[in-house]
Amino acid sequence: MTAEAAEHLRIEISPGDAVSALLIRPPQARACYVFAHGAGAGMTHKSMATVATGLGERGIASLRYQFSYMEKGSKRPDAPKLAHAAVRAAVAEAARCCPSLPLVAGGRSFGGRMTSQAQALAPLSGVRGLAFLGFPLHPAGAPSSERAKHLADVEVPMLFLQGTRDALAELNLLEPVVKSLGSRATLHLLEGADHSFHVLKSSGRNDRAVLDEALDAFAAWIEDVVR
């Protein structure tokens, strides 16, 4: 399964407001990941495509989609209420396209946080768990745990895939947050990786190896969540 094999979809968020989406469903898929993009790059960004393809190779379908602002070519992220509506519409579309598959939702950075906020406000129908590819705990240079308060209201399993050099999630703040969530939360640290899962050459590893580690951890976690 390759990025070229993705099925192009349209998702209606509200009357007159629809966004693009891409569905990859490998043979014998065992789950579908409803995959939201980060604040600065949309669903077609190379990093999004690489993750979706890698998940497909591991037997996990994915539906990645645009937020309204990205669809319109704006650089200003949507207000939470609109972003939450997009998350819910995407989850509903994934359920329609993949009715036999368990659903997991989340995304990169901003997309993951908007998904967790939506889930905290009212459970996303059919979603078994949330997976974050770099949860943005705080802005760079402004350490805080305020953005994590809503996670206490999320009652499904959560996976945090986080780089140890992530400037948007200092470990001395993130680790206590994850611990406070108890058995619902799993933290997998990617040694030497930043918020984009990039590693320095001096680490002795490359970005591909880090992403493979992250996706292998993701696939193992999903196996536990959907069994």
Taking only the tens place, the pLDDT of each residue in 5-29 is 899 999 999 998 999 999 999 999 9
**How much is the pLDDT for 5?**
82
User: Does residue 202 surpass a pLDDT of 90?
Assistant: no
Mean pLDDT on 30-37: 97
Strand partners, 131: 106, 159
% of the chain exceeding 70 in pLDDT: 98
Distance of CA 184 to the CA centre of its chain: 17
Q: Which pLDDT belongs to residue 88?
A: 98
Asked whether residue 204 carries a pLDDT value surpassing 90, the answer given is no
Per the prediction, the chain carries an average pLDDT of 95
The domain that holds 216 is classified in CATH as: 3.40.50.1820
Residue 1 has pLDDT above 60, yes or no: no
Mean pLDDT of 164-183: 96
Q: What is the pLDDT of residues 94-113, one digit of tens each?
A: 999 999 999 999 999 999 99
Structural domain boundaries enclosing 86: 3-226
Mean pLDDT of 148-152: 97
Question: What pLDDT shows up at residue 74?
Answer: 95
CA dist., res. 135 & res. 132, Å (int): 6
pTM above 0.75, yes or no: yes
122-137: per-residue pLDDT in tens?
999 999 999 999 999 9
How many domains does the structure of the chain reveal? 1
What would the pLDDT profile of 57-85 be if each residue is shown by its tens digit? 999 999 999 999 999 999 999 999 999 99
Q: What is the pLDDT of residue 3?
A: 43
Mean pLDDT of the region 171-191:
97
Mean pLDDT, range 25-40, rounded to an integer: 95
